[in-house]
Amino acid sequence: MNNLVQKVSEYMQEYHMVEEGQKIVVGVSGGADSMGLLAVLYELAEYFHLSLVVVHVNHGVRGQAADGDQSYVEDVCREKDVPCYSFHVDLKRFARKEGMSQEEAGRYYRYQCFEKVRREVGAQRIAVAHQQEDTCETVLFNLFRGTGLKGLTGIPPVRDVIIRPLLCVSRGEIEKYLQEKGIAWRTDETNLTDVYTRNKIRNHVLPYIQENINPAAGQHIQEMAGLLKDISEYIDRQGEQGFDACVTVGKDSSCAAIHSDAFRRLDVVIQREIIRRAIGVAAGKLKDVEREHVEMIRGLLDKPVGRRCHLPYQLQAVRTYEGISIKRETAGEAKRPESICIDVKAPGSYRLPGPGIVVELTVKETFKNEEIPINRYTKWFDYDKIKNGLAVRTRENGDFITLDGQGHRKLLKRWMIDEKIPRDEREQMLLLADGSHVLWIMGHRISDNYKVTGGTKRVLVAEIKGEKSNGRQYQSIVNGERSRYPDSRTG
């Protein structure tokens, strides 16, 4: 038995890819990898008592070249007496119809064809031709794009009925095997271009690493992906146990309540896994859930009751007395602008809801007799009085504002009622808040607690710039009035 065939045979047995007597659907494009897969499985068919069925998909993108690929695969199958099912699709039209990229649509259509044939012929497995470099490309692509642990585990050898027998060998090994056997293969010229990000990794990044850093880099990346897969599976198991201990799921699975006491005792890695699971339960999927969403929810544990953050799929996480509740937003809540957390150590421009509306924050030193603008949309605050960090958000339970120099406070809800703010506008009004203490009701007044005084050393300048937001005009309304301090410093 050829060395490569022996290697693949042992790999298939290690991962229990097939059982004796099974029927296997083999995806064959005509390229080196898939021709190698067909040739190896054809050799192993007698050993494992397998029967093979080939599926070829012509994407209709490369014209006569694609037709040539189809004819070649069908001819090889005829010679080997292997049944071959060919499919043809106008991939560009299909991608437009499904709202996908051509690359994504091509993969989706191929696997639809594989599964259709598997069911028709009663096959137990679908074999596809991913090999070692494909794992490396996937790991590097996910790493460069930004990913969690699962994204670094590479391509699984077995997933449901799909098997990948060639993941244990490199493209170079496959091509050498084909040359020794006198088996030709077709070349897809689009793989040689840099149209797709994966092609750039395949054609430039990996070759550079292997030529200039370590020829065995591909093998090492695959081995690392295997180790991370084991770690990921362990975290999955721990996350499942933690989820059962910390989370209560609503009857219709639209709400997941995390209990803070049990949750806090767990390691942060398991906490993140539990949060992802809780979001998945409430949303029914996790596709657009990113690390920042998980960290926002973890951060709620240190926030006052009532604080919330908005998530994909019209979900919100709310700090409760017991912990954190992840649930669907109501119609009214869904219309609220999202909270924007601001790092006061890194002033800059922060986008607000509305066409081109931003709040611009700068920090400056004060000097004696400096003039403070009297301006509805530019306000100055004593920077050193900010305690908890800033957020631009709508109102929450417990919000208050300081009315005078004696420290008299008023709940924001009461202030809005006293000022006769229409009920439908109250949920839309934007605030600059330090925890529950409101510095600025934008377009209205500021808190007396944060006003610039004679003792102020650093000033936070907040200015709203833009056109319109929520039906109101945000613009510089300078009415000509100026104040001088230390006699009178107002905001």
* Per-residue pLDDT reduced to its tens digit, 13-27: 999 999 999 999 999
Q: What letters, b where the CB count within 10 A reaches 16 and e where it falls short, cover 213-252?
A: eeeebbbebbebbeebbeebeebeebbeebbeebbeeeee
Q: Tell whether the model's pLDDT for residue 325 goes beyond 60.
A: yes
The whole-number pLDDT of residue 354 equals 54
- Of residues 418 and 484, the one with the higher pLDDT is 418
Q: Which segment, 191-195, 247-251, 340-344, is predicted with the most confidence on average?
A: 247-251
Asked if 242 and 306 count as a contact pair (C-beta separation under 8 A), the reply is no
User: What mean pLDDT is predicted for residues 386-403?
Assistant: 84
Name the band, by pLDDT with cuts 50, 70 and 90, for residue 189: confident
Q: Tell whether the model's pLDDT for residue 326 goes beyond 70.
A: yes
CA 487, distance to chain mean position in Å, is 53
The whole-number pLDDT of residue 491 equals 40
Residues 107 and 130: their CA atoms lie apart, in Å, by 13
Residue 482: other Cβ atoms inside 10 A: 10
The whole-number pLDDT of residue 120 equals 96
Q: Any idea what the Cα angle at residue 445 is, between residues 444 and 446, rounded to 5°?
A: 135
Q: Of 161, 169, 140, which is closest to residue 32 (Cα–Cα)?
A: 169
Residue 47: other Cβ atoms inside 10 A: 11
Q: Any idea what the Cα angle at residue 264 is, between residues 260 and 270, rounded to 5°?
A: 110
> 467-482 pLDDT, tens per residue?
433 333 333 322 223 3
Q: Any idea what the Cα angle at residue 206 is, between residues 204 and 210, rounded to 5°?
A: 115
Q: Tell whether the model's pLDDT for residue 336 goes beyond 70.
A: no
In percent, the amount of the chain with pLDDT more than 90 equals: 44
- Of residues 364 and 243, the one with the higher pLDDT is 243
Q: Under 8 Å CB-to-CB from 304, ≥6 apart: which residues?
A: 319, 396, 398, 435, 436
Q: Which residues pair with 478 in a beta bridge?
A: 375
Q: Which stretches does DSSP call E strand in 329-424?
A: 340-342, 349-351, 358-365, 371-375, 378-382, 390-393, 400-402, 409-411
Name the band, by pLDDT with cuts 50, 70 and 90, for residue 250: confident
Three-state SS string over 302-317 comes to CCCCCCEEEECCCEEE
- pTM here? 0.61
Burial class (CB in 10 A: 0-12, 13-18, 19+), 145: exposed
The whole-number pLDDT of residue 238 equals 95
DSSP string, 228-241: HHHHHHHHHHHHHH
**Bond preceding residue 486 cis, omega within 30 of 0:** yes
Name the band, by pLDDT with cuts 50, 70 and 90, for residue 372: confident
- In this predicted structure, which of 147-156, 315-324, 356-365 has the lowest mean pLDDT? 356-365
- Helix 3-14 × helix 171-181 angle, to 10°: 130
Asked if 448 and 403 count as a contact pair (C-beta separation under 8 A), the reply is yes
In degrees rounded to 5, what are phi and psi of residue 274? -65, -40
Residue 401: other Cβ atoms inside 10 A: 24
Asked if 401 and 445 count as a contact pair (C-beta separation under 8 A), the reply is yes
User: What mean pLDDT is predicted for residues 82-94?
Assistant: 92
- In this predicted structure, which of 8-22, 34-48, 265-279, 381-395 has the lowest mean pLDDT? 381-395
User: What mean pLDDT is predicted for residues 179-207?
Assistant: 83
Structure tokens at 275: 């949060």
> 104-163 pLDDT, tens per residue?
888 999 999 999 999 999 999 999 999 999 999 999 998 988 777 888 999 999 999 999
- Of residues 347 and 83, the one with the higher pLDDT is 83
Tell me the average pLDDT of the chain. Answer: 84
Map tokens 């439908």 to a residue: 424
User: What mean pLDDT is predicted for residues 49-53?
Assistant: 95
Residues 231 and 239: their CA atoms lie apart, in Å, by 12
The whole-number pLDDT of residue 482 equals 31
- In this predicted structure, which of 18-27, 241-250, 438-447 has the lowest mean pLDDT? 438-447
Residues 422 and 400: their CA atoms lie apart, in Å, by 18
The whole-number pLDDT of residue 476 equals 30
Residue 201: other Cβ atoms inside 10 A: 21
Q: Give how far Cα 422 sits from Cα of 89, 429, 432, 469, Å.
A: 57, 11, 20, 16
DSSP one-letter code for 344: T
- Of residues 285 and 77, the one with the higher pLDDT is 77
Q: Which residues pair with 87 in a beta bridge?
A: 57
Structure tokens at 242: 């933690």
Q: Under 8 Å CB-to-CB from 11, ≥6 apart: which residues?
A: 17, 157, 165, 167, 168
User: What mean pLDDT is predicted for residues 312-341?
Assistant: 74
Residues 174 and 177: their CA atoms lie apart, in Å, by 5
For residue 440, which amino acid is it?
W
All domains of the chain, ordered by start, with CATH? Answer: 3-227 (3.40.50.620), 250-334 (3.30.465), 340-484 (no CATH)
